[in-house]
Chains A and B, each alone.
Chain A
Amino acid sequence: MRKTNLVPALLAFTTLFPKTVFAIQRFPKPEFESAYTQPQTQIPLPRGEFMAYLDVAVLLIALSVVTWLVLKKRSRLWVFAMSIFSLGYFGFYREGCVCSIGAIQNVSLALFDSTFVLPLSVILFFILPLLFTLFFGRTFCAAVCPFGAIQDLFAFKPQALGSRLNTVLGIIPYLYLGLAVLFAATGTDFIICRYDPFVGIFRFTASFGMFLFTGILLLSGIFIARPYCRFLCPYGVLLNWTSRFSRSHLTITPKECIQCRLCENSCPYDAIDIPVTTKSPESSPVMVKKMMMMVLIVPVLVIAFGYAGSRMQDTLAGVDPRVKLAKEVLSGMRDAGSGMRDAGYKMQDAGYKMQDAGYKMRDAGYKMRDAGYKMRDESFEIKAFKASGKTESQVYSEASAVLKKFYIGGWLFGGFIGLAIALMIGGRMLPVYRADYVTNKGRCFSCARCVDYCPVKS
């Protein structure tokens, strides 16, 4: 009897062509005569909150241990052992989430979106490595970050890249950081997570394209040691700048440098600065001229790049799903699509008739027909938009709000890149004087390889 009630109901629904209708009690709750008991719907709870604090505790302990190993014990072997542990724990066990690099995005979004919940554990993951770096150098990079640890395994035949290439490629992380903050702050996307090359390895779930990219990255790491850390990592930019002002830092030699040059080629990351004992040959008028140029170059570059960034507003905002939807709504309502298809058919016919005169026109007709076909197939986004009950103008106003954010964001992003480039140029202009072989505090990952090359023992 239930069946007979159902069939007309079913027919009615199929003919009415329902959109997503949700949770209507079409059929009453049955009253069972047998002893049937309804099973419970079971809802699995997520990983306990305290586990996140366990991760923070492991991070803090790992940072402390590695710092001690680098600065006091000065042992490459133990640092390497710790990096294997970190690769195991933060990499394969915790599967790379949440990491300090990705936390940049959570922090940026939290600053601009008041509804976003930022757990204390994520704040700590972001701040702790920076604090340690500010006092002890990049010991986080040495053996706590699983990304560094996995790349360190591949540094078999590192080649020196030369200071020019290092500086130029070193601009990429600034771009990456700028874009990551821009997209996170506008609530568009977390690009660091999306294009994370190692997380797919840690989880054994990489897509083919990502697997290929990671493979190339790791294999190129045989010759260009730690390519991600040096020429991609956005968190590395922050660590680089904090490390430059660090209080204590790994030193190559425990006492006095004896200029034996044994450590000269020991660093796989080109992070050892060789002595420059000849005083800068330039006379002071030349230096004054250079300084004047720098004073001019910085604001010019910042404004020029800022302007370029603001002009890229449309391109950058085009990634945002709200803007995408607005574009789709604007360009392709279904009826317009069908209309165009029909127009395409007509033109095609006309093209056939005029075949002798105009093969070209027929081809144009084909093209338009195809465009019409494409437009006729409604995307899921448009379906979801129709089901949501939002009006077109709501979608447009949301998108224009996002566009405005990207205008300001474009200026800031461009200005940031301009400043980075200006500082790069300025850094190369500065006169240097060094008596000894020293670690470059910004670039050095504190891996402690060079320590083993130094014949001076404490």
Chain B
Amino acid sequence: MPNRREFLNTLMRGGILAALGLLSGALLFRKRDENSCSTGFACNSCSKSKSCSLPAALEARQTVWQLDPAKCIQCGRCATSCVMSPSAVKCTHAYAMCGYCDLCGGYFKPGTKTLTTAAEHQLCPTNALKRKFIEEPFFEYTVDEELCIGCGKCVKGCSAFGNGSLQLQVRHHRCENCNECSIARKCPSQAFTRVPANQPSLLKGLGNERMQDAGKKGEVNA
């Protein structure tokens, strides 16, 4: 009796072991179908990998969350849906695209007549967007990340009336990289995707960006 039970046990153990082996084999060597690729980021064993616009993505073994500014409609849910408080999504300024306008659609509320830095004229609810005079008629706009809550009000203004240089981005030194991003769940335009960890930005119109190690929290400014 005990022998038979033991034999059955060993048999089942072997079966489970084989199943686990098969499962991990299937997971390690699964085929990636390039035709079903919707994000353009899943690259291992992709036939387009050589002509791919993101060759670095090939080496990615891990992914992080990022939002595609081209899909973003600035609904404001980034500010409220993140597990972090304030949100890990911040307004990021692609300076290379900026027109340095005096009347900035991202800075001023629509209908503002006197272009001063008075609080009642500002779109930003937290005074995170700073305006600095450079030379006639140019003004520089910088984002104070410590104040920014990622509501996207300035982004909306900038993309509607300006060049669209203000864009929302997940700032990875603040992001927990949750298994499933809680903003992605709420995002109405499916702008959140998993991107290769070594290519973590989907910022548009860059030219002079600088990748920075996320080790030191709070040091990186947009």
CB distance from B147 to the nearest CB of A (A): 17
Q: Ordered nearest first, which 6 A-B pairs have the shortest CB separation? A: A27-B99, A384-B189, A190-B180, A46-B172, A380-B188, A23-B164
Given contacts A205-B85, A384-B75, contact A10 B208 (CB under 8 A): no
A41: contacting residue among B28, B44, B134, B208, CB under 8 A: B208
Chain A, 1-28, CB within 8 A of any chain B CB = 1-3, 6-7, 9-10, 13-14, 18, 20-28
Q: Please classify the interface of chain B as helix (H, G, I), strand (E, B), loop, or mixed, using the class held by over half of its residues.
A: loop
Point out the residue from B102, B196, B209, B214 that lies within 8 Å of A6, measured CB to CB: B102
Check if B100 sits within 8 Å of A30, measured CB to CB: yes
A43 with B211: in contact, given A29-B99, A117-B62 (CB under 8 Å)? yes
Stretch at the interface among A84-92, A102-110, A139-147, A149-157: A102-110
Contact (Cβ within 8 A) A114 B96: no
Q: Which positions 244-266 of chain A face chain B at CB distance < 8 Å?
A: 244-247
Complex alpha-carbon distance, A28 and B99, angstroms:
6
A-B contact pairs, 24 of them (CB 8 A): A6-B103, A10-B103, A34-B134, A40-B208, A40-B209, A41-B94, A42-B211, A43-B201, A46-B200, A47-B177, A49-B197, A97-B177, A114-B32, A114-B33, A115-B32, A116-B42, A119-B61, A119-B62, A121-B62, A123-B24, A380-B77, A381-B188, A384-B71, A387-B189
Residue pair A111, B27 in contact (C-beta under 8 Å)? yes
Q: Whole-angstrom distance from the CB of B57 to the nearest CB of chain A?
A: 9
Q: Are A114 and B30 touching (Cβ within 8 A)?
A: yes
Give the interface size class of chain A: 35 or more
Task: Digitize A381-404: 1 where CB-to-B-CB distance is under 8 Å, 0 elsewhere.
Answer: 101110110000000000000000
Residues of A in contact with B (beta carbons under 8 Å apart): 1-3, 6-7, 9-10, 13-14, 18, 20-30, 32-34, 36, 38-47, 49, 52, 95, 97-98, 102, 105-107, 110-111, 114-121, 123, 127, 130-131, 134, 189-190, 193-194, 200, 203, 205, 241-242, 244-247, 321, 379-381, 383-385, 387-388
A205-B83 contact given A43-B210, A107-B27, A242-B16, CB 8 Å threshold: yes
A30→B159 contact, CB < 8 A: no
When distances are taken between beta carbons in the complex, the residues of chain B under 8 Å from A42 are 209-212, 220-222
* Interchain CA distance A3-B63 in the complex, whole Å: 44
Complex contact B162–A27 (CB within 8 A): yes
Tally of chain B residues near chain A (CB < 8 A): 100
Q: Does B12 contact A (CB under 8 A)?
A: yes
Q: Is the CB of A189 within 8 A of B163?
A: no
B: residues with CB less than 8 A from A are: 9, 12-13, 16-17, 20, 23-24, 26-28, 30-33, 36-39, 41-42, 44, 60-64, 69-75, 77, 83-85, 92-97, 99-103, 105, 110, 115, 134-135, 137-138, 140, 142, 159-164, 169, 171-180, 182, 185, 188-190, 194, 196-198, 200-201, 203-206, 208-214, 220-222
Residue contact A40 to B188, C-beta cutoff 8 Å: no
Query: In the assembled complex, which residues on chain B have CB atoms less than 8 Å from the CB atom of A244?
Result: 12
| A52 CB contacts on chain B under 8 angstroms | 62
Q: Which residue of B lies closest to A191 (CB)?
A: B180
Residue of B nearest to A109 (CB): B180
Neighbouring A residues of B164 by C-beta, 8 Å: 21-24
Closest residue of chain B to A196, judged by CB?
A: B179
From the candidates A121, A134, A190, name the one contacting B13 in the complex (CB within 8 A): A134
A375 to B164, CA, bound (A): 31
CA distance A194 to B36 in the complex (A): 27
For A433, give the chain B residue with the smallest CB separation: B1
Let me know if B197 and A46 touch, CB within 8 A: yes
**Residue in A closest to B167 when the chains form the complex, CB atoms:** A23
Partner of B12, one of A107, A114, A245: A245
